[in-house]
Structure 1
Amino acid sequence: MLRPLIALLAAIAATLVIGWIVDQVLQRVAASHPDAAVWPLLRRCRVPLQLVVVSALLLAAAPLERIFHQHDDNLHHLVLLFLLGSVGWLAVRVVAAVLEAVLGRYETVADDPARLQRVQTQISMLRRVADAVIVVVTVAMMLLTFSAMRTIGAGLLASAGIVGIVAGIALQGTLSNFFAGLQIAFGDTVRIGDTVVVDGQQGTVEEITLSYLVIRLWDYRRLVVPVSYFVNKPFENWTRRDPGLLAVVVLHVDHTTPVDRLRAALYERLERNPRWDGTEWALHATDTTPSTLVVRATMTARTPDDAALLRFDIREQLVAYLRDEHPGALPRLRTEEHPGRA
């Protein structure tokens, strides 16, 4: 009995030593390659790696077989399941580290915000798909270790066609959302951080999964929309190509309003406003009504949020300018007495 216990302690000690050696190697490689972010991220895999090593040593060490035989095959099977689960966990950590390193590397060299958002969305979707595949494969391998599952395996394969048809009908909505999520990720129709309008509600895409999108509305509510919606129905994406937007302010003023002075006042206020990106601006009289002159001011901003706040600021400041400098320019309702009436 002493020899199996010594082998057990040796397996645990070997696991700790291997984990320490791998961690030191990753530290040295990361120090010699500071531009490669993958090596520091791989250090997160130390715990699952140690679990894989200790479970593999427990199964491979010949002296430990006596412990397994003394406590029947259930203990041996339990360690095998633990090994398979640890391998799956290690694979998930490695994939996450590699994808995060790729994204980090791209963020340092990308100068196009729209392209960066697209890559972020695609990598996030790839990670979810990879995690799902690893979990399914790991669970399937764990189930196949049971003798009952191996016995009925042939029957399951024989009836796979019928089961696939039934499952496809039952999971039609889930499968459509899954493939719609992949289409969104690689079709570049919507990305994380995009400003979209869905059923008249404007918001920013906060999260994209294989089945739904989370949109943060202006009042911080979250709108959860199935991904199939963005494939089957039209929607507005204000930042798909260019995150900048044109802010528009429409004023109804009196016909006697000095438009040239109002235009100069607009430019003065835009120069002092940090939300204006300095690209475009204009002010034109676009229409008239029997009682007012319709004036439209346009200006560009870097983001949809800046455009909205810029629009609010300029509207308030132009109205204040007319009130203080040209009070007669504010809309008035004129009444005139008919000459033939007393």
Structure 2
Amino acid sequence: MRQHFINALDMFRSWFGWLPPPVGSLLMLAVVGIVAFLASNFASDLILRIPDQGGTALIRKVVASLRRPVRLMIVIVAVFSALPAAYGLSYDTFYALQKTLIFLFILTLGVAAILAFRVATEAYLGRMMSREVDDDILMRAQQTQIRVLRRMMEILGGIITVSAALMSFETVRQYGVSLFASAGAASLIVGLSARGLLTNLIAGVQIAITQPIRMEDLIIINGDWAWVEEITATYVVLRVWDWRRHIVPISYFLENQFENWTHNSAAIIGVVFLTLDYQAPMDRIRAYLREIIATCPLWDGKVFDVQVADSDAHGIRVRIIASARTALQSWDLRCDIREKIITRLREECPEALPRGRIAMVPPAPGEAAWPGDEAISPPVARPPPGSYLGPRPV
């Protein structure tokens, strides 16, 4: 079959016999490349016109993503196959053109493999994200592993692709052998110059395996609530509640202490503190709070309690705990409880509101209270009028 293809190209090449042999050969190769490009473009358009039904959606997505590299690969293969029919080219030109086509084919093949891997992982992640689950630890764990390891594989695949493409040239291959012979010194130099990059890359692998953080985890960093929005091979993007972003090196999460509120579950217990007077009737206040919590849709119905947690000279401190499904719902639940109980106390139990007290007692038994009713504080001893004589001479 290959011989028939070469014979057909010879016949086609004879049409350009009136041109110089190198020009005719290059023109023949250009025509073969154009025909291969048009044929691949027609085939991809035909596949993309298939109705989006059932499993064809993934096929359409793969074809749309790999359309350009596959089309280029077909052109390269077609031109490379037509090289034996290019009789008019010199040996140096033929050799350079052959090596260039091999180099481009390896690069295109590596890019196509990386894109195919990305499409497959995106399809798997999309299927997982379509599940309507409020708190799925397994889904977030797999999402984190896939995203981190995918970036590592893309980096590794890019390095291997470029290395393999460059090794197709003899001079580069000889340089690689000499570099491999001195791998100890080269490794030391590369390690010292790219220490930060290598540290973050290794930390990324550890994050993917041990998973101290996952995608959409809620963590506390620098006093801010932040959600893990993106995990790359070298850094992590954290989304703060006011839409700010923290860009943090991924090694930070292995070298520093931080809080992760959703590591095992998104459910959390919120705390509300109230400062009340000693006259506060705790039985009535507990009854108020039970009525309030029963009407709060954000309460998950698991944990609720009211306790007198502390007391001092000014009043008592009441602690209210209530559980919610997520940290955001816990924040809203606490705000709702605080607002409703303050309104209820102000309207139905004002004696429970905190107040300041001042008690004046006599210095000794049988004496009047000091300072008495005529003054709140001792009078200030001021100089008599006209006694100011100006600054003293130096």
TM-score normalised per structure 2: 0.76
Q: Does 1:269 align with 2:296?
A: no
Query: Aligned-pair distance for 1:201?
Result: 3.4
| Alignment partner, residue 69 of structure 2 | 48
Aligned residue identity for 1:98? A
Unpaired runs of at least 5, structure 1? none
Rounded Cα–Cα distance in structure 1 between residues aligned with 2:61 and 2:227: 29
Distance 1:48 1:249, change over 3 A: same
Query: Aligned-pair distance for 1:287?
Result: 2.1
Q: Does 1:97 align with 2:119?
A: yes
Query: Aligned-pair distance for 1:282?
Result: 1.9
> Conserved in 2, the CA contact under 8 Å of 1:288 and 1:294?
yes
Matches for 1:127-206 after TM superposition, within 5 Å: 127-206=150-229
- Which of 358, 361, 371 is residue 338 of structure 1 equivalent to? 361
Aligned residue identity for 1:234? Q
Rounded Cα–Cα distance in structure 1 between residues aligned with 2:87 and 2:255: 62
Unpaired runs of at least 5, structure 2? 1-12, 17-24, 370-394
| Alignment partner, residue 119 of structure 1 | 142
TM-score normalised per structure 1: 0.87
**RMSD over aligned Cα atoms:** 2.9
Structure 1 consecutive aligned stretches of length 4 or more whose deviation exceeds 6 Å: 25-30
Query: Aligned-pair distance for 1:140?
Result: 1.0
Rounded Cα–Cα distance in structure 2 between residues aligned with 1:24 and 1:126: 34
Rounded Cα–Cα distance in structure 1 between residues aligned with 2:178 and 2:91: 35
Aligned residue identity for 2:266? P
> Conserved in 2, the CA contact under 8 Å of 1:110 and 1:116?
no
- Which of 297, 306, 312 is residue 289 of structure 1 equivalent to? 312
Aligned residue identity for 2:73? V
Rounded Cα–Cα distance in structure 1 between residues aligned with 2:185 and 2:219: 41
Query: Aligned-pair distance for 1:117?
Result: 0.9
State the Cα deviation string for residues 184-229 of structure 1 (Å, max 9, x = none): 1121211111111234333111111121212222332222222222
| Alignment partner, residue 256 of structure 2 | 233
> Conserved in 1, the CA contact under 8 Å of 2:110 and 2:158?
yes
Rounded Cα–Cα distance in structure 2 between residues aligned with 1:226 and 1:56: 43
State the Cα deviation string for residues 302-335 of structure 1 (Å, max 9, x = none): 2212222222232222222222222221111122
Rounded Cα–Cα distance in structure 1 between residues aligned with 2:261 and 2:202: 24
Query: Aligned-pair distance for 1:298?
Result: 1.0
Most deviating of 98-107 and 212-221: 98-107
Rounded Cα–Cα distance in structure 1 between residues aligned with 2:361 and 2:136: 64
> Conserved in 1, the CA contact under 8 Å of 2:277 and 2:352?
yes
> Conserved in 2, the CA contact under 8 Å of 1:23 and 1:46?
no
Matches for 1:37-116 after TM superposition, within 5 Å: 38-43=58-63, 44-62=65-83, 65-66=86-87, 69=90, 72=93, 73-107=95-129, 113-116=136-139
Tell me the secondary structure at the aligned position of residue 282 of structure 1: strand
Aligned residue identity for 1:80? I
Query: Aligned-pair distance for 1:27?
Result: 8.0
Rounded Cα–Cα distance in structure 2 between residues aligned with 1:336 and 1:147: 98
Structure number with greater Rg is 2
Rounded Cα–Cα distance in structure 2 between residues aligned with 1:69 and 1:321: 96
Rounded Cα–Cα distance in structure 2 between residues aligned with 1:27 and 1:96: 23
> Conserved in 2, the CA contact under 8 Å of 1:19 and 1:50?
yes
Distance 1:58 1:264, change over 3 A: farther
Number of residues of Structure 1 aligned to a counterpart in Structure 2: 340
State the Cα deviation string for residues 68-87 of structure 1 (Å, max 9, x = none): 65992554444333322221
Rounded Cα–Cα distance in structure 1 between residues aligned with 2:139 and 2:100: 45
Structure (1 or 2) with the greater helix fraction: 1
Distance 1:335 1:175, change over 3 A: same
Q: Does 1:298 align with 2:325?
A: no
Rounded Cα–Cα distance in structure 2 between residues aligned with 1:294 and 1:67: 96
Distance 1:325 1:110, change over 3 A: closer
Rounded Cα–Cα distance in structure 2 between residues aligned with 1:134 and 1:40: 24
Query: Aligned-pair distance for 1:136?
Result: 0.7
Distance 1:215 1:32, change over 3 A: closer
Aligned residue identity for 2:288? A
Tell me the secondary structure at the aligned position of residue 231 of structure 1: helix
Tell me the secondary structure at the aligned position of residue 152 of structure 1: helix
Tell me the secondary structure at the aligned position of residue 243 of structure 1: coil
